[in-house]
Amino acid sequence: MINNAIQNVQSQTKVIAIMGPTASGKTAAALEIARHIPAEIISVDSALVYREMDIGTAKPNAAELAAVPHHLINIIDPSEAYSVAQFLLDTERLVREIQARGKLPILVGGTMMYFKALLNGLDDLPGAVPAIRAELDAEAMRIGVPGLHARLYALDPITAARLQPNDSQRIQRALEIITITGQPMSALLAQKTKTEPAFKMLSLSLEPSDRSVLHQRIASRFDTMLEQGFLEEVRTLRQRSDLHPDLPSMRCVGYRQAWEYLDGTCSYEEMRELGIIATRQLAKRQLTWLRSIPERIVIDCLAPSASAEILRHALQNAES
């Protein structure tokens, strides 16, 4: 029966998506499927796209990368940007190519804005205007990013409320949209109509039955990263003249805190605590977003059988 199910999986247009907060075991679950079904993994992670950022992003190790073909990992330099639109184009192309090879595409990651684009399509918002960006950059230098956040709050409180006061990229983008359109971004998004995804997707979500245990996992993983040389990784990146803390790559969780420690603005203990807190906050945001997907199948990521449950649902889906 399992052999028939495997053949059915390969003939379906449906894609398996393994979602979940950080440290929930998504990679292990994807590899468990790939041990039974010919598959290729597409990373849904905005940090894994960067080269030279291995330890702090918890990239799959060399053995894992060799065991199953992985995509959208190590594809750009940390000085570059990778947009949601580009992710969508790359993923739709990769899904077609993987299916043409008779394999199952497995989408794995925790970058929820990428999953949102796959499920709902891109937001129909205006493109960037360099002159306006330059003005906002100059204003940020004068009043600081929290000052820009306060300005956004007066113009678009809905958008400002969901952004961190130091999230310079998204705050400036929201202000740019107001300048171009004369309307708050929240109003434009409310007018958007949902589009059909490019392919069918079975959404499997690894979520903790006890959030405190996930927090322990997060702390343990951060300590392991430090032991593996995370600070040396960031120290090497800081030596490059083209990298600075405001780049999207250096705003990844943990990297900003490590950069500040190496700048001497906080102690080692403060860096460790702030890095763990930032990762917990990321997990909280991820879980909040996941609850907005009613069709997802929730699997307890703390259960010893989590990976086996993921495989069972993949095979059952093939038989239906």
Cβ burial 218-243 (10 Å sphere, 16+ → b, else e): bbebbeebbeeebbebbeebbeeeeb
How many Cβ atoms are within 10 Å of 38's Cβ, its own excluded? 14
Give residue 199's pLDDT band: very low, low, confident or very high (50, 70, 90): confident
Query: Can you tell me which residue has the tokens 């690894």?
Result: 206
3-class SS at 203? strand
pLDDT, position 138: 86
Give residue 315's pLDDT band: very low, low, confident or very high (50, 70, 90): confident
Query: Can you tell me which residue has the tokens 């495997």?
Result: 6
CA-based R_g, the chain, Å: 20
pLDDT, position 6: 42
Please state whether the predicted TM-score (pTM) of the whole model is above 0.75: yes
Give residue 127's pLDDT band: very low, low, confident or very high (50, 70, 90): confident
Whole-number Cα distances in Å, 194 to 101, 115, 118: 30, 14, 11
* CB 59 within 8 Å of CB 86: no
Angle, helix 112-120 to helix 84-100, in steps of 10 degrees: 70
The sign of the torsion formed by the CA atoms of 285, 244, 53, 46 equals: positive
Sort 74 into a burial class: Cβ within 10 Å, 0-12 / 13-18 / 19+. middle
Query: Can you tell me which residue has the tokens 């008779």?
Result: 102
* CB 282 within 8 Å of CB 22: yes
- Look at residue 250 and tell me whether its pLDDT is greater than 60: yes
Higher pLDDT, 195 or 58: 58
Angle, helix 230-238 to helix 255-263, in steps of 10 degrees: 70
Give residue 291's pLDDT band: very low, low, confident or very high (50, 70, 90): very high
* CB 202 within 8 Å of CB 314: yes
pLDDT, position 191: 76
Whole-number Cα distances in Å, 138 to 4, 176, 265: 62, 13, 24
Give residue 1's pLDDT band: very low, low, confident or very high (50, 70, 90): very low
3-class SS at 115? helix
pLDDT digits (tens, 9 = 90+) for 36-75: 999 999 999 999 999 999 999 999 999 999 999 999 999 9
Average pLDDT, the chain: 90
pLDDT, position 211: 97
pLDDT digits (tens, 9 = 90+) for 92-111: 999 999 999 999 999 999 99
Average pLDDT (238-250) is 92
Tokens of 25: 């075991």
Give residue 8's pLDDT band: very low, low, confident or very high (50, 70, 90): very low
pLDDT, position 319: 63
| Lowest mean pLDDT, pick from 60-69, 93-102, 195-204, 273-282 | 195-204
- Look at residue 5 and tell me whether its pLDDT is greater than 60: no
| Rounded CA separation 289/261 (Å) | 31
Among 205, 287, 279, which residue's Cα sits nearest to residue 19? 205
Give residue 318's pLDDT band: very low, low, confident or very high (50, 70, 90): low
pLDDT, position 302: 96
| Lowest mean pLDDT, pick from 2-11, 185-194, 232-241, 259-268 | 2-11
Query: Can you tell me which residue has the tokens 């956004």?
Result: 152
Among 113, 114, 108, which residue's Cα sits nearest to residue 24? 108
- Look at residue 146 and tell me whether its pLDDT is greater than 70: yes
pLDDT, position 11: 42
Average pLDDT (146-165) is 92
Cβ burial 20-30 (10 Å sphere, 16+ → b, else e): bbbbbbbbbbb
Identify the DSSP state of 254. Answer: T
Among 33, 63, 12, which residue's Cα sits nearest to residue 206? 33
